Amino acid sequence: MKCGSMDWDAAVTWTANGTDIDESHLNGSYLILKNVDLSQSGQYSCYEGSSWHLKYQTYLRVGSEYPSMSH
């Protein structure tokens, strides 16, 4: 995920549902998610450097919104 209009080499902090995301998931200012599962659904936010100025926010929904139901 790209942090809005921030440059690739900008210093940013990403959070998921209010919890800091480890920098090992970052490529520059981009957030890289691999092997995504249901536990990673939620509100993702990106903040500029140490100022915690919100630059980008998105909601990630993993999986099917309406599970198939057998009758």
Answer yes or no: is 22 within a domain.
yes
pLDDT at 50: 76
Answer yes or no: is 52 within a domain.
yes
Answer yes or no: is 67 within a domain.
no
- Taking only the tens place, the pLDDT of each residue in 8-29 is 999 999 999 999 999 999 999 9
**What is the percentage of the chain residues whose pLDDT exceeds 90?**
72
Answer yes or no: is 19 within a domain.
yes
Answer yes or no: is 44 within a domain.
yes
Answer yes or no: is 5 within a domain.
no
pLDDT at 15: 97
Question: What would the 3-class secondary structure string for 18-47 be?
Answer: CEECCHHHEECCEECCCCCCHHHCEEEEEE
- Taking only the tens place, the pLDDT of each residue in 36-63 is 889 999 999 999 987 889 999 999 998 8
Domain around 44:
12-60
pLDDT at 22: 92
Q: The tokens 């959070």 sit on which residue?
A: 15
Provide the domain count of the chain.
1
